[in-house]
Structure 1
C-alpha cells in the first residue's frame, strides 16, 4: 500500500497492480490497519482510498481463494466484510477515488466509503452471480445507495455500467473526467478537512445506523448463501480455472 499525506488528507492507495489490486488477506489486513491508524491520527482529517493503475480494485483475489476450503473462503471474506463495514464507524470522512474498473469486492469496497468519486469511463461490475455465487458481503452498502430493486438488478450483473451511469444511479456521488478521479477526490477531501472535525464526526455517528442498518447480520446471511453456491458446478468451474493458473 502507498501512503501519502497531503496536508490534512491521507491517501491510501491499493498497490498490487500485477493482480489488478485484488484483495488478498495481507492487503485487506493492511487496509484495515491503515484506516484505523489514520482515524486515530489528529493530523488527519479526511481519508482518500484509491488504487494504483490500471484500476481501483478487481475484487477478492480468486487465485488465493481457490486454494482454500469453502469455510476458509467464508472466513476470509468475512474479514474483508468487517474492514469494509468499519469505514462507516470511523470519525473521519473516507472518499473512494475510482479509476479503471471496480469489480466485485472492489465495487463494494468503493461504495462502502462515505463518498465515491468515479471517472466517467470506469467499468463497474459485480461478476459474482455470473460466476455462480451471491456476493458474500457488502450488499447493505448497495441497498443504502440505490434501494432494493436497483440493488438486485446490479447484483444480477446482466450488464456492466460505466462511471457516468454509476453516478446517475447513485452508486457514485461525483463523476470526473478520465484520469482525474484522484485529483477530484483529494480536492473534496481537502474541503471536508477544513470543516470542524467534531461536527464531521457527529454527522458520521448520526447517519451510521441508516447506512449500515443490519449490515453484519446481512453479511453473515450472504456468507451462508455464498458457501452453498460455492458447492455448485458453476462456482467450482471458476475456481478450477484459477487453480490451474496458480
Structure 2
C-alpha cells in the first residue's frame, strides 16, 4: 500500500535539502561579502552567484507550498507559532534581492548596496536558524491549534541554532568561492572556509549536547536501549 503522507514528507524534505544546499551557498557569499579583500573580489563573488541565485530560492517556495498542501494542520500551527521569524526571513530575502540588482548598476552608492546585500543575507540565514531552533524546541498545541506566545521561538537555544546556520551558510559560500574563483580571492576563501568550518563544528557540538538535555523525548530516543549506538555517529558525520 502506498503511504502518501510519507511520500509527501519525503518530497518536502528533498525540497528543504535542495534549498539549504543551493540557496545556502549564495546566502553564504552574502554573509562573507564585507570581509572580502577588496571591491574587485566582491564583484567577483557576486558575479559567481548571479546566474543561479534567483532560481535557488524557488526551493523555499516549494517547501512552504508543500507544507500548506500536504500538511495543512501543521501549516496552520506553524504559521502563527513562527510568524515573526517567517516575516523577517521573507523581508530579508526581498531586501537582499533588491540590493543584488541595484548593486550592478550603482556607482557612487555601491557601498550602500554592499551593506544591504550583507544585511539581507545574514538576517535571512539567522531567521532560518531561529525557525530551526523553535521547531526543535517544539510548540504548544491544543486541539490542533497553536496556543503559545508570540515570542516562544526566541530562546538562547534558538539563537545558538541561528548562529550555527549563519556559520554553515558562510562555510557553503566559502567553498563555493574556492570552486568558482582564483588567485587572491580563492586564497582568501580557503581561509574563510577554515574559520567558518570551525564555527560549524562548535555549533553542531553545542546543539548535539543541549538537545537531549532540553527535551526528555529526544533524550529517551538517544539513550534508550541501543539507540545511542545508532545515533552517536550522526552529529560526528554531520
| TM-score normalised over the length of structure 2 | 0.28
Richer in strand (by share): 1
Richer in helix (by share): 2
Instruction: Determine which structure has more spread, i.e. the larger CA radius of gyration.
Output: 2
| TM-score normalised over the length of structure 1 | 0.27
